[in-house]
């Protein structure tokens, strides 16, 4: 192992779901202490703490967390970056180690979202009861997004993204059923994940017959708002060499860690583009890791909605351009397929406590690469990809490889 390499030494996610008796500090501390124990180290070994929370904590969440897990005087970075918050916290710790400021760090992401309802994108201000347009807020010059030139609500945004993809690629089948079958896959996968918020298999009829949120996404096709935390301990390759053979064996190499935002385009700068920054991140990650999409043994991608999963097959280059439908129809993305996607159950079943998701997706991949995923284990898994995207916009892609030790 090179001294320049970065490894995940320990990682943990809490059970996702409703935790009425725990606040974000409780959940963050549970995840952090378990990750440290998994790594076989203590808070005294950490040289940096990156703490991610988007919607619940007051200023200084990381410092509040320190009071529970150990105040050691190290730098604390409080991170908020939409749904990519957890991945950004991890990248913050990785960059500190790469910069030579420390040889070990802790990243935590936590959120309480049970019962939060639909989450908006914040694209525009409130509307007047008058039947007239009134400019207001940052985007006042082009009017509020919602209901006028699109929607700022997440279900509507990603519904549009999925339907646009099918239109651009001349899909002539039944769109509603296609996306519903993606959800059926993920709910089926969730039955093998005891930490998922929902572990219930759902038939195609049940998915299609549930409450419509934003066509073609019904309720089971949407990510589940819930409570949860996740944490990871990262270590330099040089430091890992000094640790035990067992720690080296279980360490997972971070072959690529990429974070992107929207590039400038000759297009509307207000409406979100979930495709370009994901494709940019994927291209950079494959180059950084020296692997291709064909080398991946599993993928955990950001299926905030069933429509999002389909388009990200293409954005992550798991298929030829325009070939996402064919990839899914081939059965490749099922657990027993050639490119298993969201074996955890995905955000639709595992749940989506926003700031925890980026690290939780990595947790899933790590467990397969370690051979510790239990009944849902992808046999022989050596290389995996974890992806998150947050509107605003931010995209994180990590490529992970099993240890050669």
Where in the sequence numbering do the catalytic residues fall? 83, 352
Q: Of 118, 74, 139, which is closest to residue 62 (Cα–Cα)?
A: 74
Which residues are bridge partners to 260 per DSSP?
Answer: 395
In 55-168, alpha helices (H): 61-69, 85-98, 154-168
Handedness of CA 237, 243, 245, 249 (dihedral sign): negative
Q: Which residues contact 298 (CB under 8 A, 6 or more apart)?
A: 339, 340, 341, 343, 365, 368, 378, 381, 384, 385
β-pairing verdict for 104-112 and 212-214: unpaired
Q: Which residue has tokens 């990262």?
A: 234
Q: How far apart are CA 28 and CA 64, in angstroms?
A: 10
76 vs 28: CA distance, rounded Å: 14
In contact, 389 and 121? CB cutoff 8 Å: no
The per-residue b/e assignment along 201-234, b for 16 or more CB within 10 angstroms, e otherwise, is ebeeebbbebeebbbbbbebbbbbbbbbbbbbbb
Contact by Cβ (8 Å): 43, 72 = yes
Paired sense of beta strands 6-13 and 252-261, if any: antiparallel
Read out DSSP for 52-72? E-SSS--S-HHHHHHHHH---
The Cα–Cα gap between 150 and 161 comes to 11
């Amino acid at each position: 192992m090179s001294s320049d390499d970065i490894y995940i030494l320990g990682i943990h996610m809490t059970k996702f779901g409703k935790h009425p008796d725990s606040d974000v500090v409780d959940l963050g501390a549970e995840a952090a202490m378990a990750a440290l124990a998994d790594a076989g180290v203590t808070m005294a070994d950490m040289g940096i703490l990156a703490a991610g929370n988007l919607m619940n904590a007051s200023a200084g969440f990381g410092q509040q967390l320190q009071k529970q897990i150990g105040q050691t005087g190290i730098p604390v970075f409080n991170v908020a970056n939409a749904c990519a918050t957890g991945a950004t916290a991890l990248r913050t710790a990785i960059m500190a180690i790469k910069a030579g400021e420390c040889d070990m760090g802790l990243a935590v992401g936590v959120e309480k979202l049970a019962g939060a309802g639909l989450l908006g994108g914040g694209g525009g201000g409130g509307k007047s009861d008058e039947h007239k347009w009134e400019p207001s807020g940052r985007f006042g010059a082009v009017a509020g997004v919602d209901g006028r030139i699109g929607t700022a609500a997440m279900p509507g945004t990603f519904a549009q993204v999925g339907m646009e993809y099918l239109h651009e690629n001349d899909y002539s089948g039944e769109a509603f059923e296609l996306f519903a079958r993606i959800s059926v896959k993920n709910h089926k996968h969730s039955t093998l994940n005891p930490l998922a918020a929902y572990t219930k298999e759902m038939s195609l009829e049940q998915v299609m017959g549930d409450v419509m949120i934003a066509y073609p996404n019904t309720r089971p096709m949407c990510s589940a708002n819930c409570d949860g935390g996740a944490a990871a301990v990262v270590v330099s390759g040089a430091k890992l060499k000094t640790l035990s053979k067992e720690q080296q064996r279980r360490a997972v190499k971070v072959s690529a860690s990429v974070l992107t935002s929207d590039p400038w385009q000759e297009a509307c700068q207000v409406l979100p583009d979930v495709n370009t920054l994901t494709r940019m991140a994927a291209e950079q990650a494959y180059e950084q890791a020296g692997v291709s999409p064909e080398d991946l043994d599993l993928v955990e991608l950001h299926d905030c909605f069933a429509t999002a999963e389909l388009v990200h097959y293409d954005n992550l280059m798991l298929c030829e351009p325009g070939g996402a439908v064919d990839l899914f129809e081939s059965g490749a993305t099922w657990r027993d397929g050639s490119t298993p996607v969201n074996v955890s159950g995905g955000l639709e079943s595992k749940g989506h406590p926003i700031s925890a998701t980026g690290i939780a997706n990595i947790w899933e991949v790590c467990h397969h690469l370690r051979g510790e995923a239990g009944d849902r284990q992808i046999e022989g898994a050596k290389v995996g990809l974890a992806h998150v995207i947050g509107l605003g916009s931010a995209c994180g892609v990590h490529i992970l490889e099993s240890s050669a030790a």
